[in-house]
Structure formats: C-alpha cells, structure tokens
Structure 1
Amino acid sequence: MRHLRGTSRGVHAGRGPRPHRVPDSAAPGRVHRGGPPVSHCISVAHSFETAHRLPHLPGKCESLHGHSWWAEVTVTAPRLAAGMVVEFGPFKSALRRWIDDHLDHGVMLGPDDPLVGVLRQHGTKLYEVTGWPTVENVAAMLAEVAAEQLADIVRAPGSFVSSVVVRETAVNRAAWTAP
C-alpha cells in the first residue's frame, strides 16, 4: 500500500489531488478483488404494536399477548439505476401504510385459531397469518407484502426483497432471507 506524501505519484503536480474515480472492480456486476459480485441494498424499518398467540405451543405464548414489533426489510439490486436501488419515499410509505392498516394495534392469529370468529364478531382488527403468527412466519409474510409493494415502485432492474428481520422483543428476532 502506497501512502500519499505529496509526490507526483500521489498528487497531480501542482494541480491538487486526483479526481475521485470508482475502481473498475466496483463496477456493477464485476467481481471485487476475488469476492462475490458487487450489489447494492437499502433497508426500511418500521415498528408496530400487535397482539398474537400461539395456542399450538405449550407455555405462556398460548395466551393472547402483545409485543412492540420491529420489522426491517432489505431490498437488493445488482446495479444502481439513476443512482438508487429503489425510490425510498414511495417504498417506505407503501410498506408502512400496509403494516399500519393491517397489523398495528391489531391481532395476528392463525386461521385455525378459535378466537378468529369471536374477535371478528366484535370488530377487532385482525390479520390471519398463514400457519401461526410466529416471528418466523411474520417475517415471511412481510417479505411477500414488501415484494408486492416493490412491484409498483420505481426501482433498479433486478431489484428484489432479499431479507426481512422481525423482532417481537428486544432480544428475540427471526430473519427471512431470499433463496
């Protein structure tokens, strides 16, 4: 590694520092110094308050209880388009709106839960998660939702939802990663 000491090798003689140039190895789709192809990603996070229960598991989670959930959705693209992976504003708005409309201050239950009918009858905001509303299933569900939202947003070609991390508490989390 060469250190710049003001020589003509490190600085243009009398003209100041050399202009910034992106190395060819960082060009889209190229291998970076023997590593994997370069890609770009962005992440959007959102919090929501939602109750759930897991009656198929013995223990305290059998009871209806709530959490302050956090979700972080990451979108990856092989290269940037117009300097971006996805237009942040519309993607954040669409994802957050869906979470707020369907999950925030509501209840997530499995479709076979006997509380579904009772809570619906009483006008409770309810979302049925495929299977049971485990953290793992909520992460997979939000990956599907994010992919649907992404389809209608300005984005780089080849961009996709690459991961979703969901936390139900400060110490418990699950991740969904694209195959």
Structure 2
Amino acid sequence: MSNIRITKQFSFETGHALYGYDGKCKNVHGHSYKLSVTVIGQPISDTSNVKFGMVIDFSDLKTIVKEEVVDAFDHATVFNKNTPHVELAAELKSRGHHVILVDYQPTSENMVTDFAQKIKSRLPNDIKLHSLKLQETETSFAEWFASDNE
C-alpha cells in the first residue's frame, strides 16, 4: 500500500508584537494567517471500515487543528510571557480581550513549531505529521517539515 499525503488548509486572525525587535513588528499588529497541515499515512484498506480509502477523514483532521490551533489563536493577541508585554497583556485581559502568553517570541517560525507539537500529539499513531506551512502575509511564510526535525 502506498503512503499518501493529504493537506487541509485553515485561516485565522491573530495579533502579536515582537519585543525587542528593531522594526515595525515591535508594535502590536495582526495578520490573517493561513495554515496548511499535511499528514502522511496509508489509506484504510479494510472495506468494512466506514473510512475505507481514507488516510484520515478530513473532518477528523479539522477537529484536531481547530481545537489545538484555530480556536485557541483566532482573534487572540499573542505575547512572549517573558517580556514587559505581560503588563499590556494584563491590561488587555482585564478589558475582556483574548490574550495568549507563550514562552517564545511569537514569530511565524516559533508559532509553526509550537503548532507542529500540538498537532502531532493528537494524531492517531498510524498518521504522521509531514509538514506545516504558516503564511503570515501574501508573500511571507514559515514551513515546518518532519524530515528536518527527526
């Protein structure tokens, strides 16, 4: 049986600020992120299985990614919890804003790595995360590949 890669795409809006950065991204701003999630596995060969012929049901993959990434990060503002942005985060939270404090600089590179760990932990044992592509703008993105991280 062949290994097959399948990809599902997601979109979400997230704000962030890069503490200590020497450009405009030191200011709080947002992006319309696009996340492409590619998994690899063998299609189910059991003809009695309702998911016969599928590597993973797209709706199952959607549930995992929505719960781990999209629902958590959509319309949130992300700050590194080890920076003075925690003061701004506290103020925003006190006013009812959705704020996420992470232990990394919230760049696309670090976010895609975080997302990979979250998604990998939820996949069935016979399905492997192959790659993620996190697009921050129309022309800028970060990619994570399992083969680069073994």
- Give the TM-score range, shorter chain: 0.7 to 0.9
Q: Residue 177 of structure 1 corresponds to which residue in structure 2? A: 145
Contact 2:7/2:36 (8 A) holds in 1: yes
Q: Specify every segment of 5 or more residues in structure 1 that has no aligned partner in the other structure, as ranges.
A: 1-27, 29-37, 152-156
Q: Which has the higher helix share?
A: 2
Q: How does 1:40-55 map to 2 (within 5 A)?
A: 40-55=4-19
The alignment's C-alpha RMSD in Å is 1.8
Unaligned runs of 5+ in 2: 45-51
1:24-47 deviation line (CA, Å, top 9, x unaligned): xxxx3xxxxxxxxx5211111110
TM-score w.r.t. structure 2 length? 0.81
Structure possessing the higher relative contact order (Cα contacts under 8 Å, 6 or more residues apart)? 2
Structure number with higher strand proportion:
2
Q: For residue 97 of structure 2, what is the amino acid of its counterpart?
A: T
Instruction: Provide the identity percentage.
Output: 31
Q: Which amino acid aligns with 1:146?
A: I
> 1:150, CA displacement in angstroms?
1.9
Residues of 1 paired with 2:99 and 2:15: CA distance? 9
Whose Rg is larger? 1
Residue matched to 2:94: 121
Q: Which residue of 1 aligns with 2:48?
A: none
TM-score (norm 1): 0.69
Amino acid at match of 2:10: H
Which amino acid in the other structure matches residue 70 of structure 1? Answer: K
How many residue pairs match? The answer is 137
* CA–CA distance in structure 2, aligned partners of residues 177 and 65 of structure 1: 27
2:99 and 2:7 mapped to 1: Cα distance?
A: 27
